[in-house]
A and B are shown apart, each in its own frame.
Chain A
Amino acid sequence: MSFYPEEITEYFLRPRGVGEVFEADATGATGSHVCGAALRLTLKLDAASHQITEARFKATGCGYLIASASVLTEVLQALTLSDATALPTMLESFITEQLGEFPVEKEHCARLCRDALGAALTAYRTSSQTEWTGDEALICTCFGVSERKIEAAIQTASLHTVAEVTRACNAGGGCGSCQPLIEDILDDYWRTNLQG
């Protein structure tokens, strides 16, 4: 018999992804004054492929937090930024699927993981935004895709839909808020080019 349920015990005694990524591209930290837990998530990203190449965590917390953060780093490995951006909303249910239902008083442990991931992704977006200023107007802030890059993709592959653009260059694949803008770019491009 263990202090925690079997699934939690497995990760509590053998946590995965503990530590800190060297020269992290994104860091997300959260804490709870309610229970006294603290969590820091660090990510390494491949700029070209938008893939998370490494995810690590450090935590002060109970077994549920350690297990949740372990599952988070496992699922993040080799995920594209696009997938990771979509993850926070369903992360809690994903974690409980892996680890079993949490008691009510431990539910916030999974929520802390969601918040740390959200904070890391926001931090990454902000840092890519500062890099993409000037004439390279940023359309997709989730993936840091500029208008010029989207136009280039449309031209190269002769793209006609937002979905095609997303597949080609990730733009619009995150929160989706830039999809109308991509629509406009597509309209402008084909109006100009058909007329020409």
Chain B
Amino acid sequence: MKDEGKLMDCAQFKEIYHELDRPGTSGYRFRERALSHAETCPRCGALLTEGEALDFALWNLAERSADWNASPRIEANLLGEFQQVKLAGSRKRIRKQFAILGVAAAVLLALGIGVHQRMESGAPTAWLEAANLAGNPAAGTTTAAVAGGSTPPGESTSAVSASANPTDENEYAEEFVPVPYADDPAASEGGAIVRVTLPRSALASFGLPITASEGTDRVSADLIVSQDGTPQAIRLVSQENANSDF
């Protein structure tokens, strides 16, 4: 109702007369003007009277029904349900806590096993040290099995199998150097030491610094080869008199 200053007309009155006593409505806001209009307009006056009678009848009905309540049985049922839901909720919580504890225990167990295995396999380079100790001076020929890295240092000299041929007294070998892609030291367990002869230029592929001018002759080298056939480490072997090559 935009024209607040003007007198109310019948259309405006009909729109709001049912909410003259309802706070927060436009009827309540323009109550005085609506009443003034009803005093001057017999038809709207009659509407107002009828509306008031309806208000009273509704109020009367509301008054009479004010004490209506659901039977106590409903409250008892609901309390029973509430207790059940509460119980189920606490059971669910307990189950959840057990599940969390179970997962935590499993994680701890897995960690423990992992740490244990790591301790058993020793430090990543232990296998290499073992092999170096065993093979220096280098094994004379062919292959020798590489033992697990957990072997105590004192026994590590036996890490290279005794089946390897006796070391040639004239041979001189460097220490084993891991090849660049040998990222899993454990992979060499159960592997073998293989004596190979290869072009010097091929040493570059094992990560050894070789200049292009040096790459023409052939050299002997021991490779630690894992069970899957991947070279894990390399050392160069030479005769005493050829030591100057390296």
Q: Do A and B form a real pair?
A: no
Binding site for B on A (CB under 8 A): none
Q: Give the A-binding residues of B (Cβ under 8 A).
A: none
